[in-house]
Structure 1
């Protein structure tokens, strides 16, 4: 299966213009894609001035430029990766921009299981557990539930070497072999479940509800991605919170890897409402593009809770636009983080396509697009230095042996949040994760971090004037 990639990026669309003659007929054995990659990184890459091969004076002629590009033998990923800074954890390139567009809208080919992987001891063997299941998916129909464990796919043990292939979206149907915890080990149950994938757009508003406890109304939102397609539904959820007069607000971002900055601004504006027109965040480009730095402002939205404190459930997978929300609000209201430290993605990227004109027509000769880091986003006070993550105020890692039911008050992280709020009495923490930590190690997220914003019209050109044949 494929777990949504990407995501959290500050994503801009860059229009790359070519001479009209380039649109007449395909040219054989040229550097069109390589040139697209180098020019894009030379112009927009945040660390451009620290990468020697991206220096403006790197090449003294088209011949030396062509010689440099030719050494990659049309391996576009290799060229792209060779031009990245050692500081870069997040840039990436794709051979099919339609897949990029789907990812930004949280469209994927999936059985509906949203999973996390863990490593078993010091071996290369992995296990998977289900974080949540998408409604109306095959996994939901087959009664797969949060907390289900499995060790193998199609009777093949998951390992560090094969998990990407076994989880690939190209595999249309597969089976999982369920497992269970026995003491300090995970063992098969003997039950196998056949699953079929389909293209699904995930609604990132996974749960929204009002919790009433001790004469207090708490709005709870589990929000798994900043997706503009669902902004109206997000506004409706907050309108309900406003109508019901919630006293406190919890936004659960533990699985939110980011998304569209415009959605983050709307969410921040609805959480508050008293800061309309003030600076929410500010962009910081490379030296060449510093004149394009801009401020993002709180919006004037009819739905506004006017909160002076926000409780956020976070994890190591809370990234990018999620961190923008937290960091941006922190200079105006109290933002209390419960869970784990966040990812530490304080940078974003433009989405660069190879357009051939100002009308948005794409180059018909290839489908490559890239997501290089192009800027930092700071809060209104200029703070953006959280590469190690935003620190949790109250720490509690999610425990796969005791996940609980999302949205219920006894789910460990929500329960902890209610304790921090003083709604529930504090109790001793029992986290089986620490008992088993020597046996199981969490693997990196299967989703990329994304922050996505619209490109200002004045930045919609990458001049590409080089035109020469491969030697």
Structure 2
């Protein structure tokens, strides 16, 4: 959703930095969470992005501006190449290696044969080191084309295998991974999806219909790489999971500046504000569960965290993995709706702090897991949903009464010659840092 910005008069020529920045400042004075701390006499002559950053509050970690369809103003990421990876050093700091975490379907990475768990030794022909890991990632973000040198570990020796060439491309929305796992007499649903894009809840009704027909009694929701998105989709998904859900159940409270005030919404209102779902159709797939197991990492952010926090008043939430990113704030898009348009920039400022139906929020430092698991402690990485995956394995163990409290208690399948000790760079975590919870302008 978006809000329209009116046709205020300006003494500055249309198209000038001053005209654009005056519009930005006026918009922020109305909607920005920290509007009362905006500077009184900012430099309107700066380029718009520099101006926005110069007046952004020091507590604001996530607001940004961009011009639609202008990649030079967009926040860069690995998505257009179709993969994310992390760079780790071993316990002796003698070896640094990249590990592929995600490969998107129908992407340059998948077409090149890249897969989750592959090891990267070189980027653009340069050996990855602790000193250049972030620099090489920046090269990727600034490129339309680059190469990856892949390697494998055999008999405690790293050997280069092949080089992969990747070109930037448009990537379509990704399908979920959904399956039913049977363990110790229990039927367990497993569901993984990458983000909370518009239409997600509606697209997942078939998966939940299958869970319901299979008679699952437990659910593992894999949000380990989910950087978030729309409040509406998180609400719709919650409505298919938790027991005793009705349209008018309190779900979310928004706290804004003096102009925005404090507003609350029911789960039905929150789920349907973007018009992509019929709430009664969603409720038909409701599983009526009393608890859910959610997998998380530092890349779990935004609407994923909102879902974790806002499910808690309904059912028990068992979080497995690592502490989440910590995004307890929301934004809506502000654009110039005048005709003709005078300003091309769109604003995505923090407008609200978020709280669940019990008034609980304040997770800006992240949400801590109930069961600590680091998937990097057990290599090679397995395909998402594999029951041997350490995070899935821990969830199944907790469900069946054999809960594993630490990763050290698990069988380590990694050769002793390379044990990850420190994360030097994680492209998915960087993407999560740049995401924002998206909602609508409250009436």
TM-score normalised to structure 1 length: 0.79
For residue 198 of structure 1, the aligned residue among 169, 180, 183 is 169
User: Which one of 346, 360, 380 corresponds to residue 383 of structure 1?
Assistant: 360
Kept in 2: contact 1:261–1:321 (CA 8 A): yes
Count of residue correspondences: 417
User: Can you list the C-alpha shifts for 1:388-443, whole angstroms capped at 9, x where unaligned?
Assistant: 11110000112173322211111111001101112668593256699845454454
The farther-off stretch of 445-454 and 423-432 is 423-432
Q: Which moved more, 1:421-430 or 1:370-379?
A: 421-430
Match of 1:208, SS state, is strand
Residue 165 of structure 1: CA displacement?
3.9
Question: Any conservation in 2 of the 1:339–1:397 contact (CA below 8 Å)?
Answer: yes
Contact 1:112 1:134 in 2 (8 A): yes
Could you tell me whether the CA contact under 8 Å between 1:102 and 1:108 is conserved in 2?
no
| 1:221–1:352 CA distance, 2 compared to 1 (3 A) | same
Deviations 1:125-154 (A, max 9, x none): 975321121122232232211111224322
Larger RCO: Structure 1 or Structure 2 (Cα < 8 Å, ≥ 6 residues apart)?
A: 1
Residue of structure 1 equivalent to 2:410? 429
Question: Residues 283, 183 of structure 1: CA spacing in aligned structure 2 closer, same or farther, 3 A cutoff?
Answer: farther
Q: Deviations over 1:356-412 (max 9, x none)?
A: 15xxx6x2x553122111101100111111111111000011217332221111111
Give secondary structure in 2 for the equivalent of 1:128: strand
Alpha-carbon distance, 1:99 to partner:
6.0
Please state whether the residue corresponding to 2:229 is helix, strand or coil. Answer: strand
Measured in 2, the distance between the counterparts of 1:100 and 1:285 equals 31
Task: Provide the residue aligned with 1:327 in structure 2.
Answer: 309
Mapping for residues 198-277 of structure 1, pairs under 5 Å:
198-203=169-174, 205=176, 207-276=177-246, 277=248
Rounded to whole Å, the distance in 2 between the matches of 1:214 and 1:449 is 39
Cα distance in 2 for partners of 1:92, 1:119 equals: 32
SS of equivalent to 1:130: strand
Matched, 1:178 2:162: no
Structure 1 residue corresponding to 2:249, chosen from 267, 275, 278:
278
Given the superposition, is the C-alpha separation of residues 284 and 390 from structure 1 closer, same or farther in structure 2, using an over 3 Å criterion?
same
Taking structure 2 as the reference length, what is the TM-score of the superposition? 0.83
- C-alpha displacement of 1:117: 4.0
Structure 2: which 5+ residue stretches go unaligned? 269-278
Q: Does the 8 Å CA contact 1:177/1:188 hold for their aligned counterparts? A: no
Match of residue 275 from structure 2: none
2:4 pairs, out of 12, 15, 34, with: 15
Give the distance between the partners of 1:311 and 1:453, measured in 2 at CA. Answer: 25
Cα distance in 1 between the residues matched to 2:185 and 2:91: 47
- In the alignment, what sits opposite 2:439? 453
Distance in 2 (CA, whole Å) between partners of 1:94 and 1:198 is 20
Map Cα deviations across residues 275-315 of structure 1 (whole Å, 9 max, x no partner).
21211111111122206x23232454211000011110111
Distance 2:291 2:353 in 1: 25
Equivalent-residue separation in structure 1 for 2:343 and 2:315 (angstroms): 47
Q: How many Å separate the matches in 2 of 1:272 and 1:331?
A: 10
Partner of 1:69 in structure 2?
A: 43
Distance 2:63 2:419 in 1: 34
- Show the counterpart of 1:31: 18
The Cα of 1:203 is off from its aligned counterpart by: 1.6
Is 1:166 the equivalent of 2:139?
Answer: yes
Whether 1:417 and 2:395 are equivalent positions in the alignment is yes
| C-alpha contact (below 8 Å) 1:282/1:382 kept by paired residues | yes
CA contact (8 A) 1:120 1:440 kept: no
Verify: 1:48 aligned to 2:35, yes or no.
Answer: yes
The aligned counterpart of 1:93 is: 65
- Give the RMSD, CA atoms, in angstroms: 3.4
- CA gap 1:167/1:127 in 2 versus in 1, 3 angstroms: farther
Contact 1:150–1:188, Cα closer than 8 Å, also in 2: no
For residues 295 and 229 of structure 1, do their structure 2 counterparts lie closer, same or farther at Cα, with a shift above 3 Å needed?
A: closer
What stretches of structure 1 of length at least 5 have no aligned partner?
1-11, 59-64, 459-471
Q: 1:393 aligns with which of 361, 367, 370?
A: 370
CA contact (8 A) 1:154 1:175 kept: yes
Secondary structure (helix, strand or coil) at the match of 1:446 reads helix
For 2:30, what is the secondary structure of its paired residue? helix
